[in-house]
Amino acid sequence: MLTHFEQDDILLIWKEYISGENWMPSIRQQIVESWTRCEQAGVNPYNHELQSKLDEAALHRTLVKKQELITIAVPFMANLYEFVRGSGFVVVLSDERGYILEMFGDEDMLNNPRTSNFFHGACWREEEAGTNAIGTALVLKRPIQVSGAEHYCQKHHCLTCSAAPILDDCGQIIGILDMSGPFALSHMHTLGMVVAATEAIMAQIDIRRKNRELILANNRSIDILNSLSDGILMIDARGVVNQLNPAAQKIFNKNESDILGMSIDGIFNGKAAAIWRMLNAKESFTDIEIMIETRNSTIHCMASGEPLSDEQGKVSGGVLILRPIKNVKNLVNRFSGYHAALQFSDIIGDSAEIHETIRIASLAATTSSNILLQGESGTGKEIFAQAIHNRSECRKGPFVALNCGVIPRELIGSELFGYVEGAFTGAARGGKPGKFELASGGTLFLDEIGDMPLEQQVALLRVLQEKKLTRIGSDKVIPVDVRVICATNKNLPKEIEQGTFRQDLYYRLNVISITIPPLRNRIKDIPLLFKHFMDKIGRDRSCNFYVESQVLEYLERYAWPGNVRELQNVAERAVSLAEAGEITVAHLPSEVYIAPPFYVLQAGLSLWTNEARDREQRQQLMHKAERQQILTLLSKHGGNISVVAREFGVSRNTLYRKMRLYAIEN
């Protein structure tokens, strides 16, 4: 605070400076620099008019923009004013441009010559009002007190102004808090009071900012929680649910109000040992299988839990994550290839036989009935199975295929129905779901169903009837919702007569029977299929092939015991041997162009009129052709049974049976 004697000295210095006389600056450097700025800006030190101001529209926009700052600052401004009420002091808030936003003062402040320039929208920048606490604090970006003649404009010499900048969290000025009053009544502690109030305002701004961040983070957490497909339960240290997300409500099929406040023992029917270990021993757990029995259904989930701790490290609750087993299986199926990629449009053929088969299969696809696909090896039974799945209502579910002919009989049960940990020697840790569980909500395709052992046929029949299964080694019943499509190249009625296939299972599977015609009955489709295979190979190898017309003649004359699969193999063989992109008869397997033409075989068959002899002769001819093909493949692959079986399109066991049937020695 300056004394009257000091003020007199400063007034003389001010007069010398304004008059342009030579003078020695013996006042504060900040004041000298401010005077210099005012002089350079052309400020008139003798201007006694009111300060310039914002127009009404601009002031309104500014007040709206600064509403939060005003709201926060007003209580602190009111407290400051209480200390100086009735003394002619004003407490002023300006924005970062020096325009007054809010003020507290005595009733006569607008009529009082000392304070008449303090009004809403008044500009107190240095270039408008000369050196003053508000304008100079904006320039210096720190608190300052300007007293008496330190003001550049004479009309403010009667004032002492104390101002401090209000900063945001980035250190930028967002406003100025000022307290101005009669020079004679000012005090050295006035600036300290303003600075303290400013710091309190900034602290309140910071609190509000952090509260907004907390609210935003909380809202984001809630949004994330609500968007998760997994069920989330938040529990306290007593095991009582205090928060859950919509997915958890859906899993339990209950409203939020029905679950909040429930104990985990009540929710999990006393089967919550892992959760209590989490709360009592601070042990997290991951992917524990839980079966929750409710009044109407069984809820099958994978559960994980993580304890929550307070500031002292004491467990204050936990987070439970419930993932419906169906979602887990869908995820596994997605990345395990358990999906169908083929449609009816992918089936190549223009013959009446294949069109009729597709028509029947398309109609069957729209039902939920079990389907039995019958046909010789290589006719495309799995293609039809995938196409049926993709046309059905369960097309969004998994498509799981299992070849019953290639799995050892002692393992087929575990493949179909799954097992629990320790169910048998070699059982995987944690157990394993079976194909029925993986296919739940979709389609299970059982290929070569005729090769399934009798003891597993009983279990399969029970699952199909009850739509429930029990894993090997477990007593928990798991519901499954599966559409079953079976395929076989065997005569199942004959297998029933021989006692190798159950009649009741046959009728359960054979709700809709579809017979896929062999390739020899689709001669019209042979060129189309061959061209399709050639085009595909050409695209893969980025080249084109020319096919000699005689090649197609031989292809149409051949009996094709291996059906479409054999034709595909022949196409790949021809491409591999072709030179300069030309396919000739020489590139065909010898059995294709040496074997008797198929129409000759047909003519020979027509000589018999007796139906029994006709069937017998046809079977003998087919067996002869099949025997020749096996011999050719064994010779081609050096007796490698696995390779021959794969190219022939059967399992190793089936190939061995055929070799014994045809007296073939390897």
Question: Is residue 270 domain-shared with residue 413, that is, in the same domain?
Answer: no
Given a cut of 90, whether residue 422 has pLDDT beyond it is no
What tens digit of pLDDT does each residue of 313-367 get?
899 999 999 988 777 666 655 555 577 889 999 999 999 999 999 999 999 999 9
The neighbouring-strand residues paired with 285 are: 305
Is the Cβ–Cβ distance between 449 and 408 less than 8 Å? Answer: no
DSSP 8-state secondary structure symbol assigned to residue 270: T
d(CA 338, CA 323): 20
Select from 339, 352, 412, 347 the least CA-distant residue to 373: 347
Question: Is residue 566 domain-shared with residue 497, that is, in the same domain?
Answer: no
Question: Is residue 305 domain-shared with residue 158, that is, in the same domain?
Answer: no
Last residue in a domain, options 479, 498, 513? 513
- Give the chain's largest Cα–Cα span: 144
Select from 290, 292, 291, 327 the least CA-distant residue to 305: 290
Question: Is residue 29 domain-shared with residue 169, that is, in the same domain?
Answer: yes
Paired tokens of 76? 């602190």
**Considering the domain boundaries, does residue 527 fall inside one?**
yes
**Considering the domain boundaries, does residue 220 fall inside one?**
no
How close are the terminal C-alpha atoms of the chain, in Å?
117
Spell out the residues 6+ positions from residue 203 whose beta carbon is closer than 8 angstroms to its own: none
Tell me the residue ranges of DSSP E strands in 248-344: 285-293, 298-309, 315-324
**Considering the domain boundaries, does residue 554 fall inside one?**
yes
Question: Is residue 597 domain-shared with residue 627, that is, in the same domain?
Answer: no
Dihedral in degrees, nearest 10, Cα atoms 565, 571, 576, 582: 180
Is the Cβ–Cβ distance between 300 and 324 less than 8 Å? Answer: yes
Domain of 234, CATH number, reads 3.30.450.20
Is the Cβ–Cβ distance between 192 and 199 less than 8 Å? Answer: no
Question: Is residue 493 domain-shared with residue 543, that is, in the same domain?
Answer: no
Distances (CA, A) of 25 to 9, 89, 547: 11, 30, 107
Dihedral in degrees, nearest 10, Cα atoms 149, 152, 153, 158: -20
Backbone angles phi, psi at 394, to 5 degrees: -100, 25
Distances (CA, A) of 444 to 335, 401, 470, 484: 17, 6, 17, 5
What tens digit of pLDDT does each residue of 599-632 get?
444 544 443 344 445 556 656 667 777 788 888 8
Instruction: Give the range of the structural domain holding residue 397, as residue numbers without chain letter.
Output: 337-513
100's enclosing H/E stretch is strand 100-105
Distances (CA, A) of 314 to 138, 264, 276, 285, 286: 50, 20, 15, 18, 21
Query: What DSSP letter does each residue of 220-240 carry, written as one string?
Result: HHHHHHHH-SSEEEEEETTSB
What tens digit of pLDDT does each residue of 465-481 get?
988 888 888 888 888 88
What tens digit of pLDDT does each residue of 510-557 get?
999 999 999 999 999 999 999 999 888 888 887 888 888 888 888 988
Last residue in a domain, options 590, 607, 624? 607
Q: What is the mean pLDDT of residues 147-161?
A: 93
Question: Is residue 501 domain-shared with residue 536, that is, in the same domain?
Answer: no
**Considering the domain boundaries, does residue 221 fall inside one?**
no
Select from 557, 633, 554, 618 the least CA-distant residue to 588: 554
Is the Cβ–Cβ distance between 131 and 151 less than 8 Å? Answer: yes
User: What sign for the dihedral angle of Cα 75, 79, 85, 87?
Assistant: negative
Q: Tell me the residue type at 578.
A: A
Cα 356 vs. chain centroid, distance in angstroms? 42
**Considering the domain boundaries, does residue 55 fall inside one?**
yes
**Considering the domain boundaries, does residue 215 fall inside one?**
no
Q: Is 498 helix (H, G, I), strand (E, B) or coil?
A: coil
Q: Tell me the residue type at 90.
A: V
Last residue in a domain, options 459, 489, 513? 513
Is the Cβ–Cβ distance between 110 and 116 less than 8 Å? Answer: yes
Helix axes 133-140, 29-40, angle to 10 degrees: 100
**Considering the domain boundaries, does residue 256 fall inside one?**
yes
Contacts for 621-625: CB closer than 8 Å, 24+ residues apart? 622/559, 622/561, 623/661, 623/662, 625/559, 625/561, 625/595
- State residue 88's pLDDT score: 87
Distances (CA, A) of 505 to 116, 122, 409, 442, 459: 103, 95, 18, 21, 10
Spell out the residues 6+ positions from residue 138 whose beta carbon is closer than 8 angstroms to its own: 96, 97, 98, 125, 126, 165, 173, 176
Paired tokens of 170? 């980035």
Given a cut of 90, whether residue 596 has pLDDT beyond it is no
In residues, how long is the chain? Answer: 666
Question: Is residue 356 domain-shared with residue 448, that is, in the same domain?
Answer: yes
Helix axes 598-605, 611-636, angle to 10 degrees: 150
The neighbouring-strand residues paired with 53 are: 122
Query: What DSSP letter does each residue of 105-148 carry, written as one string?
Result: E-TTTTTSTTTTT--TTBB--HHHH-S-HHHHHHHHTS-EEEEG
Question: Is residue 98 domain-shared with residue 23, that is, in the same domain?
Answer: yes
- State residue 324's pLDDT score: 82
Select from 375, 309, 364, 344 the least CA-distant residue to 515: 375
Q: Is 212 helix (H, G, I), strand (E, B) or coil?
A: helix
Given a cut of 70, whether residue 56 has pLDDT beyond it is yes
Q: How many folded domains does the chain comprise?
A: 5
Domain of 631, CATH number, reads 1.10.10
Radius of gyration (Cα) for the chain, nearest Å? Answer: 46
**Do β-strands 371-374 and 512-515 pair in parallel, antiparallel, or remain unpaired?**
parallel
Paired tokens of 369? 């009935």
658 pLDDT band (50/70/90 cuts)?
Answer: confident
d(CA 159, CA 152): 12
Question: Is residue 466 domain-shared with residue 525, that is, in the same domain?
Answer: no
Question: Is residue 103 domain-shared with residue 172, that is, in the same domain?
Answer: yes
What tens digit of pLDDT does each residue of 66-110 get?
999 999 999 999 999 998 898 889 999 999 999 999 999 988 887
Domain of 477, CATH number, reads 3.40.50.300
Question: Is residue 417 domain-shared with residue 431, that is, in the same domain?
Answer: yes
* pLDDT > 70 fraction of the chain, expressed in percent and rounded: 92
Paired tokens of 99? 């325009």
DSSP 8-state secondary structure symbol assigned to residue 158: T
**Considering the domain boundaries, does residue 643 fall inside one?**
yes
Given a cut of 80, whether residue 593 has pLDDT beyond it is no
What tens digit of pLDDT does each residue of 227-247 get?
888 899 999 999 999 999 998
- State residue 165's pLDDT score: 97
